[in-house]
A and B are shown apart, each in its own frame.
Chain A
């Protein structure tokens, strides 16, 4: 199993965001996490990639409040719940954050190079850059442009491209299509499938349930920090309660 989360609980102050949750992702899969707003999807990704632990360490005693993180997370056979976020990237578990968050004041190329920060093999970085440019030709065209001036869709391409520069085995993408125009959304989903064809395992958080269910191997439905259903898209859509209550379809 590439990623295995067992009995994970995350609390911010007294609010329990993730409640005794277990899930897994096998190599080569595209797994989706869906569910209503506030279900804990983003927090789950943040716990997996070490950001919750980082907050726990840095925000101790500040206005951010106390963070509790319990349970086990293992990646590639190694337990990572105590590994700092910047070390987790090195293992090939890469997080493409919500709201895209490019480094707005530096150029597209510099953003991509920031993604390749840990890779000291210059030839390999250059090859990765070519791969990203082939996947997202628009980034090649805009490579010298300051990334804050890109359109929303282009910024999403940049965020994903930047994550690819970190050489992921498992890429966690948080809401890539949110806030984009319908045409751009279709483009994003196409690119995600192309990335999967590169042999990269994907854990995808998305609001666009109908579209995600078509491409994902398996899906987890999250609500109030718990997994309330899982399975293939067709199976989940057959269940009237899940469809109406949690997926809004």
Chain B
């Protein structure tokens, strides 16, 4: 039981960390609250379903293709709906909600509300300390950790990573260092959507694919960024594991717990907002003139 919770919590935590970090990146750099973030995660999942089940492509190829297509869709959304109104934060928020609903309705129209699924990449299970864990779960955990490490290296070691972190802290000064803030925002959007799509690709064999599958991750992700502190990467990372484990605990320990998981996340969010509104790793945004 405890081991179940630990493994489930680790996987959930890693998946939420990927989603929340991607969301935080674009929030920090461009002040975009991208509600459509998890809808793009869902898009990647659907595209993999189309690739593997309907077109019969090999799974790895379908994964790569779905990530690329989702990033392109994300950049299209950014250019058409977000960029023209980027400085109006409330308008951006509303626009991204609209985009998320559009994506949901398109999938509902095309595939109906059916529960769809994708075959695991590998079958079978390992027994760890007497608990059966499917290889697919271990693979998902491994891949999620690899992507998290890669993201960290990208942010710390590359020139674009430095530009992203600088711009997130002070857009105006980044401008004065010769960083093209608009282009940095665009690149960050690509990275962010890429992370959402990769997350979708990693978890799609473990979840049911249906048009509202973006809702639960969205709620968790918002609770995580509030808990961790808006715009803080470390905060998103730590918050993701806290809420990942909290969700596993509730699902495993409380009767009918899986109906309560969203309420638990939202309760944590409300508590944080009441007691420590800046979150665990509160970042105070630059004063803009």
Chain A residues with a Cβ under 8 A of chain B: 49-51, 54-55, 58-62, 64, 84-87, 89-90, 94-95, 97, 101, 103-106, 110, 113-115, 117-118, 162, 166
Contact = CB atoms under 8 A, between A and B. Distances in A.
Contact of A114 (B172, B174, B283): B174
Contacts of A55: 289
B104 interface: no
Interface string B125-151: 000000000000000000000000000
B124 interface: no
Interface stretch (B15-23, B37-45, B176-184, B250-258): B176-184
A51 B166 CA distance: 17
Given A86-B175, A115-B177, A166-B177, A105 B162 contact: no
Chain B's interface size range is 20 to 34
Contacts of A51: 172, 175-176
Interface of B: 86-88, 159, 162-163, 165-166, 169-170, 172-181, 283, 286, 289
A16 to B, nearest CB: 17
Contact of B175 (A54, A60, A106, A113): A54
Contacts of A64: 87, 289
Nearest to A96: B176
A54 B175 CA distance: 9
B90 to A, nearest CB: 10
Contact of A113 (B87, B162, B172, B174): B162
6 contacts: A61-B88, A64-B289, A90-B178, A101-B173, A110-B165, A114-B162
A110 B256 CA distance: 50
A209 B170 CA distance: 30
Nearest to B283: A105
A103 B173 contact: yes
Given A105-B169, A106-B165, A58 B174 contact: no
B169 A104 contact: yes
A114 B166 contact: yes
B162 A110 contact: yes
Contacts of B170: 101, 103
A49 B177 CA distance: 11
B177 A97 contact: no
Given A62-B87, A106-B165, A117-B162, A97 B173 contact: yes
Contacts of A90: 178
A50 B178 CA distance: 11
Contacts of B87: 58-60, 62, 64
Nearest to B286: A101
- What are the 6 closest A-B residue pairs judged by CB atoms, nearest first? A89-B178, A118-B178, A103-B169, A85-B175, A114-B166, A62-B87
